[in-house]
Amino acid sequence: MKEIHWGFIGCGEVTEKKSGPAFNKVEGSYVEAVMSRSEEKARLYAERHQIKKWYTDAQELINDSNVNAIYIATPPSSHATFAIMAMKAGKPVYIEKPLASSYEDCARINRISLETGVPCFVAYYRRYLPYFIKVKELINSGIIGKVTNVQLRFSVPPRELDYNCQNNRPWRLQPDIAGGGYFYDLAPHQLDILQNLFGIITKAHGYCANIAHLYKAEDTISACFLFENGLPGSASWCFVGHQSAREDSIEVIGEKGLITFSVFDYKPIQIITSNGTNNITVENPPYVQLPIIKDVIEDLQGLGICESTSISATPVNWVMDRILEIGRAHV
């Protein structure tokens, strides 16, 4: 069996539990080295997770002869740069979502992957979780009949840091780094799930605003879109809503009923038909990225095929960019 020795570029919060430990839980996979621009952060992370080596320079990690695959867990604006560096060195890449901070950067990544023949995978891990597999199974079972509309609603109150972030603004609120505020950070997972369920979104239109003026990025977005199969959908995101309006839901409306589920809260999946209401609870693994990481590793070992690639991830960026581009034009 081919052994995969990973080098991590970035060692932030997401790598602590969601992803990092999972790399060592798949047969034939090992974490060889980690990199952060902060020497202390890299060293402490390596010590905490019993990783042999740590670096402060991404190119040095990529050049490490013992590393043959790269995991990129940095803010989106650097994804394309690091991915291209790795692929040109012949090393497959697994990138945190979104694929990049713009559709144009996604296209650059895809071009280099095609030219080098080096695969690039993206961490849209929710489609691999039992919860969302169950949602897809229910929709495909025909229990609610033909799907006629999809409605996404997401609302959360501002975070405490949002009120006092002028001098210490999180990277997620810096559009030049994140791509577009909390929308560009959270919407990718929702849009990937929708496209996994119903196909590619081919048309999208949006309106966006900065209502609370807590930061420069948009805090409220409304959108409508059309899937390739002709199914219409709509969505609203509010990152400055009142606590009473907190919501994380996707409603799938069918000719015979309704399926409602959440993307981040994993609330029980609700099915409403003429026969009544049924709630289904589905447990997910403790390391939520383990199923997709296993799929990526088995692809690299020649044992399977991982479908969450840079190609499949690119339409998510196209939709987000389209919504923001049109929305900003109306402001």
Mark whether 275 and 296 lie in a shared domain. no
Mark whether 141 and 276 lie in a shared domain. yes
Structure confidence at residue 160 (pLDDT): 84
Mark whether 89 and 197 lie in a shared domain. no
Q: Is the pLDDT of residue 320 over 70?
A: yes
Residue 310 lies in a domain: no
- In this prediction, residue 331 has a pLDDT band, given cuts at 50, 70 and 90, of low
Structure confidence at residue 44 (pLDDT): 95
Residue 202 lies in a domain: yes
CA atoms within 13 A on the CB side of 110: 16
Q: Is the pLDDT of residue 326 over 90?
A: no
Instruction: State residue 327 phi and psi, 5-degree precision.
Output: -60, -40
Calculate mean pLDDT across residues 110-125.
Answer: 98
Contacts (Cβ under 8 Å, ≥6 apart) of 129: 284, 285, 288, 291
Calculate mean pLDDT across residues 279-283.
Answer: 97
Q: Is the pLDDT of residue 270 over 80?
A: yes
Q: Is the pLDDT of residue 171 over 80?
A: no
27: exposed, middle or buried (Cβ count in 10 Å: 0-12, 13-18, 19+): exposed
Residue 311 lies in a domain: no
Structure confidence at residue 80 (pLDDT): 97
Mark whether 135 and 262 lie in a shared domain. yes
Q: Is the pLDDT of residue 266 over 90?
A: yes
Average confidence score pLDDT of the chain = 94
Mark whether 119 and 132 lie in a shared domain. no
Structure confidence at residue 162 (pLDDT): 83
Q: Is the pLDDT of residue 206 over 80?
A: yes
What Rg value do the Cα atoms of the chain yield, rounded? Answer: 20
Assign residue 57 the CATH number of its domain. 3.40.50.720
Mark whether 180 and 244 lie in a shared domain. yes
Structure confidence at residue 167 (pLDDT): 65
Structure confidence at residue 172 (pLDDT): 77
Assign residue 228 the CATH number of its domain. 3.30.360.10
Q: Is the pLDDT of residue 311 over 90?
A: yes
Mark whether 270 and 294 lie in a shared domain. no
Share of the chain above pLDDT 90, in %: 87
Mark whether 175 and 268 lie in a shared domain. yes
Split into its structural domains, the chain has a count of: 2
Structure confidence at residue 288 (pLDDT): 93
Domain assignment of residue 281, given as a range: 127-287+317-329
Q: Is the pLDDT of residue 17 over 90?
A: no
Residue 184 lies in a domain: yes
Structure confidence at residue 199 (pLDDT): 98
Mark whether 9 and 31 lie in a shared domain. yes
pLDDT digits 0-9 by tens, 121-158: 999 999 999 999 999 999 999 999 999 999 999 999 99
Question: Is 316 in contact with 180 (CB distance < 8 Å)?
Answer: no
Q: Is the pLDDT of residue 253 over 80?
A: yes
pLDDT digits 0-9 by tens, 221-241: 999 999 999 999 999 999 999
Mark whether 189 and 296 lie in a shared domain. no
Mark whether 90 and 144 lie in a shared domain. no
